[in-house]
A and B are shown apart, each in its own frame.
Chain A
Amino acid sequence: MTAHGPQTPHTVGSRPSRSALAVLGERALENLIRLSGVSAIFFVLAIFFFVFREAAPVLVSDSFSLKEFLFSVEWYPTSDVNVRYGILGLIVGTACVSGLAVLIAVPFSLGSAIFIAEFCGPRLREGLKVVIELLAAIPSVVWGFIGLTVMSRLIVAVTGAPVGVNVLNGGIILALMCVPIITSIAEDALKAVPDSYREAAQALGATKWQIVYRVLLPAAKNGLLAAVLLGVGRAVGETMAVLMATGHAVHIPRSLLDSVRTLTANIAAELGEASVNSEHYRVLFLTGVLLFLITFMINLTADLVVRGVRRER
């Protein structure tokens, strides 16, 4: 308790106990931390500004219509006779692949998070956590390679599809990439539920399953939702793996075994050749703005849902 003295610099007695250098250093450190905090906002705004600045001129150009951009499937950016920029096929492609990935990934990862947090012994838990972290460390191009070679052959052999690189392939690969992220965050959320909850439930005679279902899942709702939405964000934004695993065909898929192209893959494949400041280049940046807005909406929904959950309590 005697340590209180130096923390109030305006009392006369404490002044000589701290050198000017220490005070200055502390202020510098405080400001450095403040700067790092504020810089996140600054960088996000700056990125949005620069991406939008590259895209903006096309919005006012005569040959471009926003309606066609959003609602036409005809993507012919380099046509000799009739240039058309319609990205509906790409939007649907992104939605299909990430939707399928989330559908596959969520049950698996929540299941494994619950198992790791509640049901398994300490030794197995450590082993599983290491393996799952290792899974998260695999570069996306390696996942893409697995999709292109192993998975595509497997899909052809099992389903008899003509081409193995398709929505199903991309969805499975993306799900495999999302699982470690969702699992480790969900597991942290479950661990963060105070033990007193478990003890109270056990004292009331609840079974293990009842504890998980009735106590832990509602208590960790926010964290679990955050985990799932981070997974969704990863799925929507992932580029390299889907570029390699989805077959890269612009159209609206008729089945899970059809090839598609996603928004991200399209930017990656075409930005290199689009000459700077050409219309094609600007349209690709506009696609980037759209992606940005999509992820922003996902995060905003997450935020609102989490807040709603909080108010209910």
Chain B
Amino acid sequence: MSRHTSPVAAVLLIAGLSASLAALLLPAGCGAGKGAEPANATIQVKGSDTMVNVAQAWAEEYKKVEPGVEVEVSGGGSGVGIAALEKGTIDIANASRDMKTDEIEQAKRNTGKEPKEFIIGFDALAVYVNKDNPLNELSLDQLSQIFAEGGTITTWSRLGVSIPGVSDDTIVRVSRQSSSGTYEFFREHVLNRKDFKLGSRDMNGSKEVVELVGTTKTAVGYSGMGYATPSVKMLRLARKAGDPAVAPTVENTLNKSYPLARSLQVYTLGEPEGAVKKYVEWMLSKAGQKILQESGYVPIPHQN
């Protein structure tokens, strides 16, 4: 029936539907824009998995300091945080590596503001093996031979180590997914910008790396020193074969004798204002740095 009237009805229906949709969406859109009042603001933080522990601890503690400010933290990797900052969807990006020039350009193009960097602490990137592994130290070159494309070390016996109770002594390489700042830091400082060997287990978080190394006797992996557990062991590292090997400790990180020490930073779009500014200042304050240290990272040596 009524084939000739159907287009009219369809148009009416679509019009009605879109009108009600618009009515639903509009107030929500307006409301979101007004959240900038300092009395109750939300700060969006995203990025580095290395820093997600301390970022969450800060967010928790900041609730007590400034009850009106809600800090929302998520991980995903330094690359994910920086990508979100480029789009302007977050207030603060955590990064365990420096922002690259093309990323800074992209952020300027998209938002018109220049990203501003704050160094909020230091971390030693530790190389972990299972606690049953008799190995205690490696040189950066050996590490590169294990992890880099074309590297020749694939078994533990090549390193002169035999692990008790395993039949297959192939080295199980535990790495990070490519959005991780730790991954990029390792590639830059250990592999000298070469690529990783294919077939490494690419974990989604700093903690997962340590967990897998803890359950796998033949594994070696890298992660922040704050993630150490009783089932793993941190190796001492030497810059060159023959150099003294240095353990990843707070002291060795600050005096730069540990070869894989790095700074941890947060980025904001332009000079931070209002609640974000206060939050960044608080992270750098004594109270903020104390939480950083408790989470297993190295605080900034005191400047005041």
Binding site for B on A (CB under 8 A): 9, 24, 27-28, 30-32, 34-35, 73-82, 89, 152-153, 156, 160, 162-165, 243, 247-251, 259, 261, 269-270, 272-276
Contacts and interface: CB of A to CB of B under 8 A. Distances in A.
A162 B170 contact: yes
A161 B9 CA distance: 65
Nearest to B202: A248
A220 B76 CA distance: 47
**Interface class of chain B by DSSP:** mixed
Interface stretch (B52-60, B80-88, B280-288): B80-88
Given A152-B215, A250-B199, 10 more contacts: A28-B9, A35-B13, A156-B215, A165-B212, A248-B203, A261-B202, A269-B179, A272-B79, A273-B82, A274-B83
Interface in B76-98: 76-77, 79-80, 82-83, 86-87
A269 B6 contact: no
Listed from nearest, the 10 A-B pairs whose CB atoms lie closest are A273-B179, A273-B79, A251-B199, A272-B80, A80-B193, A248-B202, A78-B178, A31-B9, A269-B177, A273-B80
A65 B92 CA distance: 38
A272 B83 contact: yes
A9 B86 CA distance: 62
> Among the interface residues B106, B178, B194, which one has the most CB atoms of the partner chain A within 10 A?
B178
Given A79-B195, A162-B166, A162-B170, A31 B202 contact: no
Contacts of B195: 76, 79-82
Contacts of B168: 162
Contacts of B170: 162
A160 B187 contact: no
B187 A248 contact: no
B200 interface: yes
10 contacts: A35-B14, A76-B195, A78-B178, A81-B194, A81-B195, A162-B219, A250-B198, A270-B179, A272-B79, A273-B82
> Among the interface residues B5, B13, B77, B199, which one has the most CB atoms of the partner chain A within 10 A?
B199
A261 B1 CA distance: 55
Nearest to A272: B80
Nearest to B46: A272
B167 interface: yes
B26 interface: no
B201 interface: yes
Contacts of B304: none
A208 to B, nearest CB: 48
B231 interface: no
Contact of B1 (A9, A165, A250, A274): A9
Contact of A80 (B82, B187, B212): B187
Given A27-B2, A249-B202, A273-B178, A162 B80 contact: no
A34 B86 CA distance: 43
Contacts of B9: 24, 27-28, 31
A247 B174 CA distance: 10
B198 A27 contact: no
Contact of B172 (A31, A79, A80, A163): A163
B218 interface: yes
B13 A275 contact: no
Contacts of B199: 249-251, 259
B21 interface: no
B262 interface: no
Contacts of B194: 81
B215 A164 contact: yes
Contact of A247 (B1, B198, B201): B201
Contacts of B1: 9, 27
A153 B103 contact: no
